[in-house]
Structures are given as C-alpha cells and as structure tokens.
Structure 1
Amino acid sequence: MQGIPWVAIAIILLTGLPSQAKFKPPGDVGKPGNRRGLATRGGECQVQGSPTLTTLVPTSNLGLAASNSPTFYWFTPINSYKYVTFNLHKVDAEDNPAELVYSAIAQLSGQAGLSSVTLPQQASSSTLSANIEYRWSVSFHCALSEPSRLVAIGWVKYVPPSPSLTNQLAVAQPQTKYDIYAEAGYWYDAVNELITANKTTPSRNLQMAWQELLESDAVQLNQLVGQ
C-alpha cells in the first residue's frame, strides 16, 4: 500500500454535545452499502460487543457537505484488529468504486469511540468536485497484506452553499453554526460543528442535541447514543 499516508485518526469520547435545530435531509435517493460493518465469523481479530463499526451517515447513506474537504466520522468499537483504512472513491454508473481519490491508514488502539478523517486541502486531487457523489469506506484489518473482513460504507456529495447561506455562516456564532447547517441539510458540516462544540464547551444541552440527532427519523443511529 505504498504512497498511502499514515494518519493519526482521533478517538473522540462524547460526553455531551448543540441546539434545537432538526436535521433536514435533502430529497436525494438513497445510496447502496451498509453503514454498519458486518464481519465474518472466526479469525484472529474480532469486535467485542455492540454496536459494531458504523459510519456516521443518515439512513439514506448519503450526506451533503458544504466544504470540498469535509471531515468523515465513524464509530470504532472495542476490537482486536490492528489497522484501519479509509478509502474515498469516485464511482461508475452502477455506483461501484471506479477511481480512488484518497486513502489513509492508521493503527488501531482497540479503544471504542468516534474516529475521524479530514480530507487534506493542500492536494486538489484529494478534494471533492462539486455535485458529484463519492463513496467512502472504513475497513478493519488484522494485517495490511490481508483483505478486510469488516467494512462500513458511506456516501458524500459536495454542494457549494448559496451566497445567502455563506453570508449567514460568516456572521454566526460558533454555537449556532450547527443549527444553520442542520436546517440547510448539510450533514457532514452539522455533525462536525456539533462534535467540535462539544469538545470546546460541553454541556447537557449539547448532549441532548446529539441524542436527538442520532435518534431522528433521518438518522436512526440510536445504538450510538452514549457511546
């Protein structure tokens, strides 16, 4: 896997996360793939308990991004795997991976929590083109020489925000940006603002907002509440 960068993928332990805005997903058709990793039985490496490896995407598997270098989040369960790989692909007409846009590898610690990767802005080849759907995946490996036995899928589409939304965000307080992104249907930006707010100013209100988001009809990731 030469040429693929090794990255420090953070594990974020959520203690409480913002606001009262409801996430309003766009009317896009859902995309294929399983956002929950399904591992085959047996083998040296295993996941302990539930929930399993899970990409943080809506029930449609597709989320919008207001930035061409968004941050992708997933839940890492307690596990005995050695490595995690993140891959971002352009797809063909049948939604199958066709062109690798970005890939990263990191060692797993075995800890549970939210993990993330942000596309580097320095390299234009790894940023998203507007209005194109991309497929991303997270894979766990016992050894890099072996194929993955545990994979979870997500989709992303970069839609540049309108001038009015850009102006609104430019004057918004950090605590209110989640509301703005959620109302506009920008999944990746809303999630990132929510998690960032929790890291800087954790509160009971933020915890409730996080729970409401995960349990909403458009998301249905109830099993991640409290993780």
Structure 2
Amino acid sequence: MKSNSQSIKLFLILAFSCTSLVSSLTSVLAKPTLPASTHAQVVRFNPPSPPPGPPPGGRPTGGASRGGSLSVCPSVKTELTALVPFSEEPGTVKNVWGLTTVERPSWLFYMPYTKDSTYPAEFVLQDQESNPIYQKAIALPERPGLIRVSLPANAPPLEVGKQYRWFLTVYCDQQKESPPIYVEGVIQRVNLKQATVQELNTAEPLKRVVIYAENGIWYEALTTLAELRQKNPQNPELQAEWRNLLASIRLDKLAAEPIFP
C-alpha cells in the first residue's frame, strides 16, 4: 500500500511539472517578436548630392534680423524651424534643400507662435525665375508645435527636374513694416527608378519610409512617418523612428513636439 501511495505522489509531481513546462512554452511562443528589420534605428536618411549649379542657399531657422534690422518678434525658446535637411559651408552659408517625387508635396515646420498672437503668417512658393506660383496665409496653431503646409489640388504641380524656392514668413508687426521672421529653402521633384517604385507599391507604410529615406527622398519620408505618428501617437516604435529620422538632420530636439493637422 505504501508503494502505491508513493507511486501516486510521483505521478502527480511529474504531471504538474509537465503542465508547468507546457504552460511556460506556450507563453513564450505566444509572445509576438518584431523582426529585426522593424526595430528602432531602421530609418536612416541618405542625403543626396547637392544640385548642380549655384548653391541653393536658404535659412533653416528664423533669425532675429534681416537686412541688418532687428525683428520685433519676441524671443522664443525654440525658433521657427523648417524640418528639412541643410548643410553648412565655410562662412556659415547654409544650403537648405530636399527632394520630392510628387506633384504637390507637403512641408513641416516648427511654429513657436500661436494664434493668440494674431501674427500674420504666409507660405510662398516660387519657380526658378522667382515668380510666385503659390501663396497662402497660414493659420497659427493653438500652441507651439509642428504644422503641415501642403500644396492643394488647385496649385500648379511641381515639374520633374525643376527647382522651386519656398518661404514661410511670420510678421510680428501687423502692418508688416518691421523685418519678419522667416525660413526658406529649395525643393526639387525627381523620378525614382521603376524597381524602387514597384517596391514602394507593395511595401508596408513604415517600410515605405525606409525606402524613401534610403533614396534621399526627404519630403515623402517625413510626411509618411508624420502621418503614421498622428494615427498612432503612443506607438513607441514610431516614436523611436521619428526621433531617428529627425536626428539624421540634427533636429531630434523637435521629436517630442505635437503634430497639428
């Protein structure tokens, strides 16, 4: 009888151990693991070579003066900033420019001024001959953050191979008699290789960001990732990729700023 009792106890111990092992394995196998290719640090912007001809010049951040005159705009913790690549040459000359593949792209700017200030703001796009082809008053946000400016359907489409100069200007003087705060740069539309286009057509949204960034297409990489962040604001992977993309142009200090419609 004693032998039978010990056998029953041993059987119960083995059964419990097996159940625990199966439960542990099931728990481990049930946990989804992200492929290595989707972890943070995937998005790496590959800046293209500068455009041929004269340097594009530009201004990535709003300064405190223009033409030697002081602006009446109040000082802010973070200046008006265009989210676009820029390079510096000797003598502090900045070249602000980026590529797009679409007829009507979007720009993102950090806007430190709010609608309570009632400052007039304006976006202007010029062709290569400095002729304005699009001009629009810009509504300031409720609080400082990132605003998006897009060319509407009724604006002239960008032509492939041509360069266009854009400006975003904030007038802290209602009469526009004092120097404004402004940023400016150059955008150029290009065509991608057909193989890359096919890859984009079948890729998931985050993979499209990676493809655009690897091919030096800044504007579509930026706006695609910004849209993903707006739809999934609490997603830690997208937050990491957003910071990584902005860090590639030395603007990761703006990664935590809200993106307004």
Q: Give the TM interval when normalised to the shorter protein.
A: 0.7 to 0.9
Matches of 2:174 and 2:126 in 1, distance apart? 19
Retained in 2: the 8 A contact 1:53–1:76?
Answer: yes
Partner of 1:48: 76
Letter in 2 for 1:57: V
Retained in 1: the 8 A contact 2:71–2:180?
Answer: no
Matches of 1:187 and 1:107 in 2, distance apart? 24
**Which of 126, 135, 138 is the matching residue for 2:165?**
135
- Under a length normalisation based on structure 1, what TM-score does the superposition of the two structures give? 0.79
Displacement of 1:190: 0.1
Retained in 1: the 8 A contact 2:120–2:138?
Answer: yes
1:183 aligns with 2:214: yes
Matches of 2:152 and 2:220 in 1, distance apart? 16
Instruction: Report the identity percentage.
Output: 28
Partner of 1:69: 104
Query: Unpaired segments of 5 or more residues in structure 2?
Result: 1-39, 88-95
Retained in 1: the 8 A contact 2:43–2:245?
Answer: no
Retained in 1: the 8 A contact 2:111–2:147?
Answer: yes
Partner of 1:7: none
Equivalent positions of 1:122-201 (< 5 A) are: 122-123=154-155, 126-142=156-172, 145-147=175-177, 148-201=179-232
Q: Say if 1:188 and 1:38 are closer, same or farther in 2 by CA, change over 3 A.
A: same
Q: Say if 1:46 and 1:160 are closer, same or farther in 2 by CA, change over 3 A.
A: same
1:86 aligns with 2:123: yes
Retained in 2: the 8 A contact 1:67–1:158?
Answer: yes
Partner of 1:207: 239
Displacement of 1:47: 4.3
Q: Deviations over 1:169-227 (max 9, x none)?
A: 111122321111111110000000110111112311111111112222xx112332322
Matches of 1:222 and 1:19 in 2, distance apart? 13
Alignment length, in residue pairs?
199
Partner of 1:15: none
Q: Which moved further from structure 2: 129-138 or 23-32?
A: 23-32
Q: Deviations over 1:54-80 (max 9, x none)?
A: 111102311100101101111101453
Query: Unpaired segments of 5 or more residues in structure 1?
Result: 1-17, 93-97
Could you say what secondary structure the match of 1:101 adopts? strand
- Under a length normalisation based on structure 2, what TM-score does the superposition of the two structures give? 0.70
Q: Which has the higher helix share?
A: 2
Could you say what secondary structure the match of 1:107 adopts? coil
Matches of 2:225 and 2:106 in 1, distance apart? 12
Q: Which has the larger radius of gyration?
A: 2
Retained in 1: the 8 A contact 2:71–2:181?
Answer: no
Displacement of 1:145: 4.1
Matches of 1:161 and 1:195 in 2, distance apart? 21
1:20 aligns with 2:42: yes
Q: Deviations over 1:85-118 (max 9, x none)?
A: 00111234xxxxx211111102324621111111
Letter in 1 for 2:60: R
**Which of 31, 34, 40 is the matching residue for 2:59?**
34
1:118 aligns with 2:150: yes
